[in-house]
Amino acid sequence: MFKYSQLTHAGAALPRWTWALAKTLLPALLIALVVRTFIIEPFDIPSGSMEPTLDVGDYIFVPKFAYGYSAASLPFDLHLFKGRAFFFHKPQRGDVVVFRLPADPSIDFVKRIVGLPGDRIQVKQGVLYINGTAVERNRLGDYVVDDGAAAIPAVEYRETLPNGKSHLIFQFGNGNGPFDNTPVFVVPARHYFMMGDNRDDSADSRDPHSGVGFVPVENLVGPASVIFFSIKPTAPAWEFWKWPSEIRFGRIPSFVD
């Protein structure tokens, strides 16, 4: 009883504004934690493997409920159940997805789903083939990609997947890059085949040393949905005094195609 009285007395001695601030901030922090943990999580794009869809310095929202929940989408890698649970609907071909790297689940990757379970995937002279049929693509023109060290000439294409999903890709050279000609990959059940839109500068399911391989459905965190912030990679986001000249206002907000 004595200890309880002392605690109450000490709290009462604090200024009223302290308690008012605490009562305002604590619920807000709890709501933010719940939202980030179970509903929407922000991610930043550190590499150019998904250019031109996602640029270095883009910040994206990923709805974690879109494919249901698994250990990959829960905090602290909690293994509360096997597989995926709650509101599950299947990922679609063409979705841009954040997932846990199969070789090291502590690392998050972002790529595009091009192969569904049971598909046969192959790349020949830089052209994607799905189940023996070349994916339609139209050349849009020449492009110069700045990788931070050099300006690299590229060709920009609009690629249209069999389900009608259309997106832009970059291709370097003449289709003779390291992964422009691959064997046939047969996607196992409950797995997906991932590729970057920057086809010659992406560690993805084509590369046996990338750690990606076939991505299990349990490793999916969620689809990339919206670019909510974008800043040139020459200026870290925390350097807010550079924002007026470094923010790419034309990219925000925008949906991820």
Range of the domain at 238: 2-119+185-255
pLDDT at 69: 85
pLDDT tens, residue by residue, 10-28: 444 556 767 666 666 776 6
Mean pLDDT on 142-150? 76
The CATH number for 47's domain is 2.10.109.10
Mean pLDDT on 97-118? 96
Q: Please return the burial class of 174, using the count of CB atoms within 10 Å of its CB with bins 0-12, 13-18 and 19+.
A: exposed
Establish if 125 belongs to a structural domain. no
Domain count across the chain = 1
Phi, psi of 147 (to 5 degrees): -90, 10
Cα–Cα distance measured from residue 141 to residue 215, given in angstroms and rounded to the nearest whole number? 32
Establish if 137 belongs to a structural domain. no
Question: Of 113, 110, 115, 114, which Cα lies nearest the Cα of 61?
Answer: 110
232 tagged catalytic: no
Cα–Cα distance measured from residue 73 to residue 81, given in angstroms and rounded to the nearest whole number? 12
* Cβ–Cβ < 8 Å for 84, 67: yes
Establish if 195 belongs to a structural domain. yes
pLDDT at 5: 32
Establish if 93 belongs to a structural domain. yes
Task: State the catalytic residue, choosing from 49, 70, 202, 205.
Answer: 49
Cα–Cα distance measured from residue 118 to residue 116, given in angstroms and rounded to the nearest whole number? 6
| Residue 210 or 86, more confident | 210
64 tagged catalytic: no
Q: Supply the DSSP symbol for 69.
A: B
Output the DSSP codes for 30-47. HHHHHIIIIIEEEEE--S
Establish if 154 belongs to a structural domain. no
Establish if 167 belongs to a structural domain. no
Residues 6+ apart with CB under 8 A from 4: none
Establish if 153 belongs to a structural domain. no
Establish if 75 belongs to a structural domain. yes
Task: State the catalytic residue, choosing from 64, 70, 73, 111.
Answer: 111
Please report which residue ranges of the chain form alpha helices under DSSP H. 2-12, 16-34, 243-246
